[in-house]
Amino acid sequence: MLRFECDYTEGCIPEILEAISRENHTQLQGYSEDTVTNRARARVKALCGREDVDVHFLVGGTQANTTVIAAALRHHQGVIAAAQGHIACHETGAIEAAGHKVIALPSQTGRLTAAQIEAVCAAHWSDPSFEHQTQPAMVYLSHPAENGTIYSLSELEAIRAVCDKWHLYLFLDGARLGYALASPKNDVSLQDLARLTDVFYLGGTKVGALFGEAVVIANPEIARDFRYHIKQRGGMLAKGWLLGLQFDVLLEDGRYFQISQQAVDRAMEIRAALEALGIPFWSDSWTNQLFPILPNEALTALEREYVFNHTEKMDDTHTAVRICTSWATTEAQTQALIADLRRVLG
């Protein structure tokens, strides 16, 4: 079986394993206060074009989301997210367990718009009994969104303006950020994110690392005491250097961007093949996740050799599936899949 159902079926790029082996017997200070991690922090700052951000490395996405949101919000405040947002539906209520409501907004596109956020805030603050409702205090975006689509620079700027108007923090979940940056449709840079958000993260788990997310905090209100929150939420690794080292390797010589580009290029090859076959898509994704709507018979045939993720039953005879490439997807795997797609769907 060849797995295309997600982008975390393999381990990591070989350079990371080499680096771990190299450092394995070095005695390093615990809890991310070591020299390797500091070097990785410096790389992140340089790429963001800002020396004044705080950089922390956490193990995974749910942990990063919970820690950032809990560090930022007071008890009566909530976070606005798309209804499909990871924090709204795939983290077992982690944000609520930390005491905060996720204010989930329906979205056709899987992304939030500045207008939606404006409407929620305007409604809240004009309601005479606003104190009987959760106060909106943060906006959570996934970029790429769960359906593979990405925000444009102008969309992000509009959202930032609304956040400024209503005193909302802007938090961008970049678990797959590399694949957004590598998209042919992308016009957003890391520096833009460091300028427009209060906090965002650069995902490693799905982009070449064994695990790890690099959290970049531009707003000092959120940065203050952040390490307490990491510890409290179970994210302070004794051997924190394992996190820093992985980002040190990923961000050296542009590796992170190269492997992301390669994964997106392969997805685009698959996308072109599907388009040529007249297959429609569930979302307009130009990143490493594609969501073709396949006839059930063809899907059954393909699933003898491939693993996909079933996203949604479209009707009695069609199903939207997720096909993911990753940094680990080879050209041979890509061509094999394309050939089989043509054979079955042609």
Distance CA 217, CA 346 (A): 49
CA distance 272 to 293: 14
Smallest separation (angstroms) from its own copies to the CB of 184: 26
Which helix (H) or strand (E) segment holds residue 170: the answer is strand 169-173
Name which of 33 and 275 has its Cβ closer to its own copies.
33
Nearer to its own copies, 108 or 129 (CB): 129
User: What single DSSP character describes residue 43?
Assistant: H
Give the nearer residue to its own copies in terms of CB position, either 98 or 193: 98
Q: Which CB, 158 or 336, lies closer to its own copies?
A: 336
CB of 218 to its own copies, least distance (A): 19
Instruction: Please say which residue, 20 or 279, places its beta carbon nearer to its own copies.
Output: 20
Q: How far is the CB of 263 from its own copies (least distance, A)?
A: 15
Which residue lies nearer to its own copies by CB, 275 or 312? 312
Residue at 94: amino acid letter: A
Q: How far is the CB of 60 from its own copies (least distance, A)?
A: 6
Cβ closest to its own copies, residue 26 vs residue 152: 26
Q: Please state the closest distance from residue 96 (CB atom) to its own copies, in A.
A: 4
CB of 333 to its own copies, least distance (A): 10
Instruction: Report the C-alpha gap between 264 and 259 in whole angstroms.
Output: 9
Give the residue with the Cβ less far from its own copies, 196 or 245. 245
Q: Which residue(s) pair with 318 in the sheet?
A: 295, 315
**Do residues 43 and 251 lie in contact, with contact meaning Cβ atoms separated by under 8 Å?**
yes
* Residue placing its CB nearer to its own copies in the complex, 58 or 156: 58
Q: From CA 325, how far away is CA 289, in angstroms rounded?
A: 7
**CA 280, 282, 283, 286 torsion-angle sign:** negative
CB of 235 to its own copies, least distance (A): 7
Select from 200, 244, 237, 236 the least CA-distant residue to 219. 200
Closest to 172 (Cα-Cα) out of 246, 41, 44, 65: 65
- Closest contact distance (angstroms) between CB of 278 and its own copies is 30
| Cα–Cα distance measured from residue 70 to residue 72, given in angstroms and rounded to the nearest whole number | 5
What's the rounded Cα separation, in Å, for the pair 208 and 250? 7
Cβ at position 9, least distance to its own copies in Å: 4
Query: CB neighbours of 136 closer than 8 A, spacing ≥ 6?
Result: 77, 78, 79, 80, 103, 117, 120, 121, 124, 166, 168
Give how far Cα 181 sits from Cα of 101, 192, 207, 320, Å: 30, 11, 12, 25
Closest CA relative to residue 148, chosen from 116, 95, 187, 109: 109
